[in-house]
Amino acid sequence: MEYDIAIIGGGIVGAATLYRLQEKYPDKKILLIEKEDHLAAHQTGNNSGVIHSGLYYKPGSKKAVNCVRGRKAIVKFAQEHKVAHEICGKVVVATDEEELPHMERIFGIGQQNGIEGIEKINGDQIREIEPECSGIAGIRVPVTGIIDFVAATEKMAEVALGKQAQSAVKLGERFEGSLFQDGTNQIKTSKATYKAKYMIFCGGLQSDRLATQDGVKSDMQIVGFRGDYYELEDHAKQKVKHLIYPVPNPAFPFLGVHFTRMTDGNIECGPNAVFTFKREGYGKTDFDLKDTVDALGYIGTWKLFAKHWKFGLDEYKRAFSKKLFLERLQRLIPSLEMNDIREGRSGVRAMALGPDGEMIDDFAIETINNSIHVLNAPSPAATACLAIGEDIVEMAEKEFSF
């Protein structure tokens, strides 16, 4: 029950960290602890399944650099280990003149980030790629893809464990705390006690709470936003060939409702973005008292609401109105009808907010004593997971004196 390193959190970032560490240090005994009964239970298993290109992220930021590095790494991993994926490409579509300056800005960012093969296209070219899509101009991004992130997470853990028989993944065990004593961490879970010299926290939606519990001083807080999806009915699936995205509104911190062809053949439409009263709640009426009190007791939440209340109100209306959701989808595909879509799944994203109500946009990883904390890993963290894992290995080598 003694390990060199313990990783808390079994999403794709935790699994990628396990994989990268075990890849470089096959002699190390590493423990991964996940509170659910399977890996990738929350953000990883409920995201859009897109391998992002790096099109939207500030040049030079950790997001931009790691998205491009991570995209290449996860495609290589998927090829080597036969994880379901496809590099199908996407189009970003402007539907009116007001969006053209924003589209140009995004194209410039894509060029600076070194995204291979991107090109501006006109309305006729959009229809050649997506016959049902209506737009006046767009960007074609050939390196964007789709992947089964759950399968990728499971495969990373499997490959890592294959390198070291004494490493372990413990499922269904909630991390309850740790005590650093005599040069090692005594780690208590809901089922057992373990020892590990070093700890790495990849807690996703719970990252701020785990950090506070470990003594990290930070004024940011995680606030959950639920995203609801619709799916195209079988008879309407031919209306989408690849991935179709709108030009994102620069005043709103989300990419907007888009169409995603999944690896299982389904076509998802969404997501919207609404404040959730439960961090790990996927139903429209899910509620958790602690999560609600924490979120609504934080000044940053109210400042975010004040800045974006009009957007927020529109998103809430769409969450409860199929008609309004359809109207938003019809901006990209006018031929869609009510009987073409059905309600699908939902996901929750961890938005890290500062006290000023601004979203902490970049990846944030900090160290304290014998611990590393992934404080903020929003999209495109799943795409970038193997690059993030490499960064964590480098931090561990520096901070932990491997």
DSSP string covering 134-201, please?
A: --SEEEEETT-EEE-HHHHHHHHHHHHHHH-TT-EEEES--EEEEEEETTEEEEEESS-EEEEEEEEE
- Secondary structure element (H or E) that encloses residue 142, with its range: none
| pLDDT of 254 strictly over 80 | no
Bridge-based pairing state of the strands 258-261 and 267-270: antiparallel
Superfamily of domain 2-45+150-220+361-400: FAD/NAD(P)-binding domain (3.50.50.60)
| pLDDT of 37 strictly over 80 | yes
At residue 253, the pLDDT reads 65
- Domain residue limits, the chain: 2-45+150-220+361-400, 221-234+266-355
At residue 256, the pLDDT reads 81
Could you list the beta-strand ranges (E) of 247-320: 258-261, 267-270, 274-275
| pLDDT of 250 strictly over 80 | no
| pTM score, whole prediction | 0.96
Give 115's DSSP letter: -
| pLDDT of 187 strictly over 80 | yes
At residue 316, the pLDDT reads 87
Average pLDDT estimate for 167-171: 98
Average pLDDT estimate for 233-260: 89
Bridge-based pairing state of the strands 193-201 and 371-376: parallel
Contact by Cβ (8 Å): 239, 311: no
At residue 240, the pLDDT reads 96
At residue 300, the pLDDT reads 97
Query: What does the pLDDT look like over 288-310, one tens digit per residue?
Result: 999 999 999 999 999 999 998 88
Of 58-72, 245-259, 379-393, the least confident:
245-259
Average pLDDT estimate for 140-165: 98
The residue that leads in pLDDT, 108 or 308, is 108
| pLDDT of 84 strictly over 80 | yes
Integer Cα distance of 77 and 315 in angstroms: 36
| pLDDT of 245 strictly over 90 | yes
Query: What does the pLDDT look like over 16-27, one tens digit per residue?
Result: 999 999 999 999
Contact by Cβ (8 Å): 335, 328: no
Question: Considering only CA atoms, which of 344, 224, 245 is closest in space to residue 288?
Answer: 224
Looking up tokens 């990628």 gives 16
Of 46-50, 93-97, 276-280, 307-311, the least confident:
307-311
The residue that leads in pLDDT, 119 or 180, is 119
